[in-house]
Structure 1
């Protein structure tokens, strides 16, 4: 669990609530179902139209990484790679075949399988580079739904405000109904701007950082595994790993 992200969300929400209370307002005045439906559902529809269903679903699933990022056991991987290097140097690449089916990381398993099969290292490099590029393109396309939501939400909030004002204009002869329309108008703007800057855009930027780190990790793994496939001295492999640490 990433407690920093959880604390950030709590602090953002608390700032709005405390600010509202300091102004002498009521919290319930910020609860407007009509404004929520206009902004949230409208934003989802716009994002879905832009991104398509597969990217939309993938992006929504990626949101869990904000609070529970993928495990990154760098120290354990370094020890494992160092051990593989020594074993391959001593007994040959075929000695690593036992790890192809036990290693949990599909990327590492694929690289090991190619090396054990005796594929030329240049071809392995090409295959792994394509794998990394495909991963990065797929993940960045998915996380863009949060960037898109951050762009659309404020505008749709303004749309909600206009709809609320239209409701006000239609009921000028009935003062008792004006308050609700004005509330929807202003709260829709708050929802749009607030969700964009406190939720959608921060999630997008956090996911960008996670994807960037994962791409760097895969590039490191590819570099070191190719060094092992070339039969480099374990000391060279350790130096490569130290450079990435």
Structure 2
């Protein structure tokens, strides 16, 4: 349900947008302190959580541990959804074959009417088509898309973690941007490798 919808409808922010927002937040924090970030418009919920922790005065170890735990739990949840769709892709063809065998047994047990053999055979073989269709057109593509999205979201969240810690450390926004741009290059390489 939700995982399949997320594979195709959920928008993952471009890392460049996150970097731009992190630089703005870093600039605001340097000029007005962490409380200046309290009213900031942050569309990314993970970034908002990290910034809220800064505003609330949590130390760097707590911020790091909390956000890393969130990254880990999100990745695990995504991996579980991916595994469900991969399993469906593995099982669907076998279920189709079982349906075909049941249909063939029913057809062979009713050989009295030669005119009924053709339609019965068509129905029996249709279950194989359904199994192959479910596996190759629905389940496996959704699993693959979820895996790519999982990787993109994980890299974005790791980028955000570094941004939040850089802001908390009082780093120059240009330094934060440089660090995050290195991350961006890494992310593009990893996502491209995942899609290949």
Q: TM-score, normalised by structure 1?
A: 0.70
1:137 maps to 2:83:
no
Match of 2:151 among 194, 198, 212: 212
- Structure 2 spans left out of the alignment, 5+ residues: 185-196
- Using the alignment, how far apart are the partners of 2:138 and 2:95 within structure 1? 16
Cα displacement (A) at 1:223: 0.8
Q: Deviations over 1:155-176 (max 9, x none)?
A: 1011111111111111111112
Q: Quick check: 1:69–1:210 contact (8 Å CA) kept in 2? A: no
Counterpart position of 2:128: 189
Instruction: Give the counterpart of 1:108 among 47, 50, 70.
Output: 47
* Aligned counterpart in structure 1 of residue 38 of structure 2, from 92, 97, 100: 97
Deviation at 1:119, TM superposition (A): 1.0
CA drift at 1:154? 0.6
User: Could you tell me which of 60, 64, 73 is aligned with 1:125?
Assistant: 64
User: Given the alignment of the two structures, is residue 241 of structure 1 paired with residue 183 of structure 2, yes or no?
Assistant: no
Structure of higher RCO (CA pairs closer than 8 Å, 6+ residues apart):
2
Count of residues paired in the alignment: 184
Q: Which moved more, 1:229-238 or 1:122-131?
A: 229-238
Aligned-partner Cα distance in 1 for 2:12–2:89: 27
CA distance in 2, matches of 1:204, 1:76: 26
CA RMSD in angstroms, aligned pairs only: 1.6
CA deviation vs aligned residue, 1:54-80 (integer Å, no higher than 9, x gap): xxxxxx222234443414243333222
Q: Secondary structure at the match of 1:70?
A: coil
Moved more, 72-81 or 152-161: 72-81
- Alpha-carbon contact 1:160-1:184 (below 8 Å) kept: no
Cα separation, 2, equivalents of 1:142 and 1:205: 11
